[in-house]
Structure 1
Amino acid sequence: MAIDFEHIVAYALPIVMWALIVSITLRQLTKRQSSTAMLSWLMIIYLVPVAGIFAYLIFGEINLGKRRVKAFKLLQPKYAQWFQQIKQQKNVIDSDRTLLSAPLFDLAQNRLSIPCMQGNELHILDTPESIIKSIVEDIQRAKTSINMVFYIWADSGLVNEVMTALIDARRRGVNVHILLDYVGSRHFFNSENCRYMRENGIEIAEALHVQLFRVFLRRIDLRQHRKIIVIDNEIAYTGSMNMVDPKFFKQDSNVGEWVDVMVRINGPVSSVLNGLHALDWELETEQKLPLSLPVPNDNLYPLHTANRHTVQILATGPGYPEDLVQQALSTAIFSARESIFITSPYFVPSQNITDALVTAALRGVNVTLILPRKNDSLMVGWASRTYFDELLAAGVNIHLFDRGLLHTKSVLIDNKLALVGTVNMDMRSFLLNYEVTMVVEDEEFANEVSLLHENYQQGSVKLDYQRWVKRPMYKRIIEKLFFLFSPLL
């Protein structure tokens, strides 16, 4: 009796589906991950099997791809040796530790081998105009090199001033290397301005190029999320702002203008950020960039104990030490004795971070979260609210920012220890994105961060716990439904 193709498919498809579901289930039960992530994936594949299996095969595992894994392993010893050379520059290495900073600085150095550096002049810039003006002025003074990494580069407005300054710098002999995430900057790569910049000698490279036909060979949603500018190995910028003008960027998302900060750094830690750019650049292009040792900022000496202008750089992402972001945040939170202030545009943290915040509040620490009221991600906006009940009940203060989309990522501990950078309070930043965070113990800088948070609070509305718990049942259901997809956020 002949069996046609349709009968074969009818019998084979359920068997294949069953085998995949069993395999994924076993993988989830044995994989090292949070119970929340495991249960979310199991719910997805059992509730919507076809879509769930397809989603897991694409997004379920952190797969860098063979070429990237091999390249990263080859480059690691080279850059580790260079960081060791920096450690020999005793005049810029900070060996002092206070009770507040010691655990976090030790964790970073033991896991990354990136030295903690003193003698840096730090200033927060908190408006697009001040940020772009400062960047343009420094570009105009550049003598040898300008290196940049951004997630998003979007034409128009103030960004065109940066483009003009870069072209002028290249014409006078400055080397310019710009690395941009392929997905975040996809529109720019197809723009006339990108072509014009390249024609004028500016090197622009794509990071993490997406190839749809390789979706099952390498995870396609890994992103280069760092924001770094380094000029002449002496001046650097990092923070939360992409190379965009908020007056033009995502105006159709109905969340208002994006609110960001960048930190201008004048000092030896700029060389560490330059090294990270060089590593990212070589990983993507296979082209080597020069590595220069730090230049001491003599204008800041002598240094005082309270204000050593000390900076520790945290570089995280796939291939870097696992769970370092969560470990660093947990260490910072547990070190708090008086206060914790956190700003983040996307708040879908791990259970470990949630528990740390709850515990801090219960032991009497003043814990304050400042989050945007409106979010450009519908799923994140709803999923983040599932955490509010537990946090509010423990005494955590939650303020919802009303003056646009608060995109600043910052943590301030006891008004002394600050973390500022690109890391969001979500699993994407914890596990999937290449991120950079500067950890600073410095009273002057902490005061700047504190004033920034006060300004954000003035533009926010504080949630009332009693009113929050009385919100309609349909909102609770929507929150829980979107929370199920937290592994994909």
Structure 2
Amino acid sequence: MTTFYTTISWLLILGYWLLIAGITCRILIKRRSVPSAMTWLLIIYILPLLGIIAYLSLGELHLGQRRAQRARRMWPFMAVWFKTLQSLPSLYPIKNSDVAQPLFQLCENRQGISGIKGNQLQLITSSYDTLRALIHDVRKASHNIEMVFYIWHPGGQADEVAEALISSARRGVYCRLLLDSAGSVEFFRTVWPNRMRNAGIDVVEALPVSLLRIFFRRMDLRQHRKMVLIDNYIAYTGSMNLVDPRFFKKNTRVGQWIDLMARMEGPIATIMGVIYSGDWEIETGKRILPLKPDNNVMFFEKKNDHTILVIASGPGFPENMIHQAILTAVFSARKKLIITTPYLIPSDDLLHAICIASYRGVDVSIIIPLHSDSLLVRWASRAFFSELLESGVKIYQFKGGLLHSKSILVDEQLSLIGTVNLDMRSLWLNFEITLVIDNHQFGRDLARVQENYISQSCLIDINYWVQRSYWKRILERLFYFFSPLL
């Protein structure tokens, strides 16, 4: 009997170390950043069982077998569709600005499509104005409405949007609603999903969260896009979830969320519709055939039109596309670079690119919220301040609420706005979308918005920063240790 238990004990010990060795080899074989690999290895060696469970559930990009198969089928179809647009030269600008050319060329080569001209574009800085405009457009829709949001939080004007959507569906407008399971968990606990489905709206819960799925799909992979498409002509995207800030996260004590949205009219809506069809196919297995590109349905150049490039990321889309686009934009800066982001945990490459831009003489400013809704992110982001400040980057902390806007402005000519935070999750993992606008007038409009943010912010003084207490430095480094996982 003693021999039996001894044998079992040795087999368990051997199995344990084989498991540790196997996970270690898997981490080393996967091509990932050194800080990320070292973080996972340290977690696994310090907390072996918890570390292994965490790595199996969060360490690799598992979309799930069915969704992964759909994603592999989806992109070749989308690539062919994009290629058909090349037969419509009237959609493309003759020339991009010097600052925009590298980014547009990158996207044309990697995703098969560049900027599309002939669009009307409105920048909306007020959540109230965004919701009023959206309600108006939904009520006037005549053919179809597609929406995707990370968060739909009931209450206030969000309920008015829901009522307008139900009303449109009842009069024959085909409506589809794709909501992230984790972000919209409160919505799915209300009566709204059943009310919408009873009205004929296709309501889909994207990437459902369940303990039973934890080892089969990565649970922190989220559908983070925010898009509205109406009649294949009107489109919205930006940083705002479908929430009324007066009713959203009131107990966090960070103030109301401040967002930035774009409302567009023109052929760019059709391009965004293709991205939506990809998301819908990955989640449901059903293919939504977008409008066939045709000169008869495309929109021609108008006065004050805008050239807009859409970049999408996530499983099934070109890998690291948005991260590469942001790097290209930062390296293209010659005079001025302004970044707004609610979460500042950049990759090493992006951190170095921003610092190098400042060393090159570019006037670099980063605007972040003074108070964050995430304690982990708040402390982890501080670990990057010293290197940024030492390179001459100005860091502003916004005091007028939780600044949730995501924007990059390069030389007041090239603008990037969308859903992407400057953190690992947005840059490498989630389904995200970014608009790139090559237009000086729009750049000046965005600059005024950013200047308004700065007027409500406090500038971090480097002399004051280097004198912060020792315990704060320890907390910053501790949370920085986990930054590749945030």
SS at the partner of 2:267? Answer: coil
Equivalent in the alignment of 2:435: 438
Deviation at 1:9, TM superposition (A): 6.1
Structure 1 residue matching 2:91: 3-state secondary structure: coil
Residue range with higher mean Cα deviation, 249-258 or 25-34: 25-34
Residue of structure 2 in register with 1:273 after alignment: 272
1:387 is aligned to 384
| Residues 149 and 226, structure 1, Cα contact 8 Å, conserved in 2 | yes
Please, which moves more after superposition, 187-196 or 381-390? Answer: 187-196
- Structure 1 residues 263-322: Cα deviation after superposition (integer angstroms, max 9, x where no partner): 000111010111111111122112232411464444x536xxxx6510110011123222
- TM-score (normalizing by structure 1): 0.95
- Counterparts in 2 of 1:298-317, with a 5 A limit? 298=300, 300-301=301-302, 309-317=306-314
Q: In the alignment, which of 343, 368, 372 is matched to residue 375 of structure 1?
A: 372
1:346 maps onto 2:347 in alignment:
no
Aligned to 2:319: 322
Identical amino acids, percent of aligned pairs: 44
Q: CA deviation at 1:48?
A: 2.0
- The CA RMSD over aligned residues, in Å, is 1.6
- TM-score normalized by structure 2? 0.96
Selected match of 2:400 from 392, 398, 403: 403
Aligned to 1:91: 90
Alignment match, 1:484: 481
1:393-451 deviation per Cα after TM superposition (whole angstroms, max 9, x unaligned) = 00000000111111111100000000000011011011110000001111121112111
**Matched position secondary structure for 1:120:** strand
Q: Gaps (5+ residues) in structure 1?
A: none
Secondary structure class of the residue paired with 2:385: helix
Structure-2 residue corresponding to 1:428: 425
Change (3 A) 1:431 1:8: farther
Match of 1:252 in 2: 251
Check whether the contact 1:256–1:405 (CA below 8 A) recurs between aligned residues: yes
Output the amino acid matched with 1:429.
S
| Alignment CA distance shift 1:9-1:244 (3 Å) | farther
Q: Secondary structure at the match of 1:118?
A: strand
Query: Could you say which residue in structure 2 is the equivalent of 1:470?
Result: 467
Q: 2: CA distance between counterparts of 1:453 and 1:207?
A: 33
User: What does residue 223 of structure 1 align with?
Assistant: 222
Aligned to 2:185: 186
Worse overlay, 19-28 or 212-221:
19-28
**One-letter amino acid of the counterpart of residue 32, structure 1:** R
**In the comparison of the two structures, how many residue pairs are matched?**
483
SS at match of 1:98: coil
C-alpha displacement of 1:254:
1.7
Asked whether the 8 Å contact 2:145–2:228 carries over to 1, the reply is yes
Between 1:329-338 and 1:188-197, the stretch displaced more is: 188-197
- Which residue is equivalent to 2:136? 137
**Superposition deviation, residue 102 in structure 1:** 1.0
> Any gaps of 5 or more consecutive residues in structure 2?
none
Contact 1:181 1:225 in 2 (8 A): yes
Aligned to 1:451: 448
Q: Deviations over 1:57-106 (max 9, x none)?
A: 11111122221121112222222222122332222223422221111011
Aligned counterparts of 2:244 and 2:326: Cα–Cα separation in 1: 30
Which position in structure 2 is the counterpart of 1:241?
A: 240
Is the 1:271–1:293 contact (alpha carbons within 8 Å) kept by the matching residues of 2?
Answer: no
**Other structure's SS at 2:117 match:** coil
- Residue range with higher mean Cα deviation, 164-173 or 91-100: 91-100
- Please report how far the alpha carbon of residue 14 of structure 1 lies from its aligned counterpart in structure 2 after TM superposition: 3.5
Q: Which residue of 1 aligns with 2:356?
A: 359
Shift of 1:34: 1.4
CA contact (8 A) 2:166 2:196 kept: yes
Write the distance in 2 (CA, Å) between the matches of 1:67 and 1:239.
29
Relative to structure 1, is the Cα distance of residues 233 and 8 closer, same or farther in structure 2, using a 3 angstrom cutoff? farther
Query: Secondary structure at the residue paired with 1:437?
Result: strand
Residues 8 and 150 of structure 1: is their aligned pair in 2 closer, same or farther, counting only changes over 3 Å? farther
Q: Distance in 1 between matches of 2:29 and 2:485?
A: 20
* Other structure's SS at 1:85 match: helix
